[in-house]
Amino acid sequence: MRLPITGRSRIAASLAAVALTAGCFSSGGTDAEAGSLAEGNSLKGATVTVGSKEFTEQLVLCQVTALALRSAGATVREKCGLQGSNTTRAALTSGSVDMYWEYTGTAWINYLKETEPIGDPAAQYKAVAEQDLAKNKVKWLAAAPANNTYAIAVKTTTMRQLGIENLSDYAALAKSDPAKASTCVASEFAGRSDGWPGLQKSYGFTLPKSAVATLAEGAIYDAIGKGKPCAFGEVATTDGRIKALGLTPVPDDKRFFPVYNPALTVRESVYREHPAIGRIADPIAAALTDTVLQELNGEVDIEGKEPAEVAETWLKSKGFIGK
């Protein structure tokens, strides 16, 4: 999800050699029986490496992909949990991994160096897919409808009490009663143009420092749920804790936050050799809504399940792999 911080971008090249060996590497993994994804899509004889970034959603998607490909007969090596967007992308373009799930907004701004996001998800995906293939020989498979973007969230009951319906209302509250609009942000969000500074500029408000708390990203969800030390806070829209803690992302009526639809990205040479990968991945992408990802992420973050277990159970429930 989302872009790495600027500082991380600057040092990514020097860290790439180390980071590409980080993460959880396995040539084994859970076997998977054939299901609907394997019908007419044999990958027998294919050996591929699936990678991912380090956060929960990526770890689940890594396991989903590995199991799906194994169900069609592929030998799959896993390199789940690489540290950061830039190093995971470098693993793909260098050939250390053959595929991983990326987000449209991340690729558009960070890898393709475009400064203005495209508000329409379909148009954003089309632009990313075309440019990345032409410039970098990276094939984008179908994008999921889920949008793992930033949002400002609040306890649902608090939102009703304050009469907040969108971020314009939140901005108005920040101007009239800053204490009631107290907001928690993570340090990365606090310094990003597509984060806190840009949000304030777009909606025309400036929350005083006394009403802003900087916390670790994971701690923000509990803070909002308790209303201490803030009523509002930065969240990722597909995080399972949103539903579990009774939070509501405040609608972004000015469409400030970029679109971050996930899609499986594959090196073009690998895709050309094994086009069945696309036919296997596309139904998975179509099933990944915000609600589904929230539930899958929540099973890991809240219920304490392993990503591989969550991935296997979900794939079986959809009939994508055999039971």
- Options 3.30.460.80, 3.40.190.120, 3.40.50.300, 3.30.470.30; CATH for 150-249 is 3.40.190.120
User: What pLDDT score does 105 carry?
Assistant: 92
User: What pLDDT score does 235 carry?
Assistant: 96
| Among 3-17, 93-107, 279-293, the least confident range | 3-17
* Three-class secondary structure assignment of the chain: CCCCCHHHHHHHHHHHHHHCCCCEEECCCCCCCECHHHCCCCCCCCEEEEECCCCHHHHHHHHHHHHHHHHCCCEEEEEECCCCHHHHHHHHHHCCCCEEEEEHHHHHHHHCCCCCCCCCHHHHHHHHHHHHHHHHCEEEEEECCCCCCEEEEEEHHHHHHHCCCCHHHHHHHHHHCCCCCCEEECHHHHHCCCCHHHHHHHHCCCCCHHHEEECCHHHHHHHHHHCCCCCEEEEECCCCHHHHCCEEECCCCCCCCCCCCEEEEEEHHHHHHCCHHHHHHHHHHHHCCHHHHHHHHHHHHCCCCCHHHHHHHHHHHCCCECC
Q: Is the pLDDT of residue 303 over 60?
A: yes
Q: Is the pLDDT of residue 16 over 70?
A: no
User: What pLDDT score does 18 carry?
Assistant: 38
pLDDT confidence bin for 13, thresholds 50/70/90: very low
Q: Show me where the domains of the chain are located.
A: 44-148+260-318, 150-249
User: What pLDDT score does 19 carry?
Assistant: 40
User: What pLDDT score does 193 carry?
Assistant: 76
Q: Is the pLDDT of residue 15 over 70?
A: no
User: What pLDDT score does 7 carry?
Assistant: 35
Q: Is the pLDDT of residue 261 over 70?
A: yes
pLDDT confidence bin for 240, thresholds 50/70/90: very high
User: What pLDDT score does 115 carry?
Assistant: 82
CATH 3.40.190.10 fits 44-148+260-318, yes or no: yes
73-132 per-position pLDDT tens digit: 999 999 999 998 899 999 999 999 999 999 999 899 889 999 888 989 999 999 999 999
130-164 per-position pLDDT tens digit: 999 999 999 999 999 999 999 999 999 999 999 99
Q: Is the pLDDT of residue 12 over 70?
A: no
Asked, colleague to colleague, whether 44-148+260-318 and 150-249 share their fold, the answer is yes
Average pLDDT of the segment spanning 199-205: 97
Average pLDDT of the segment spanning 22-38: 72
User: What pLDDT score does 229 carry?
Assistant: 97
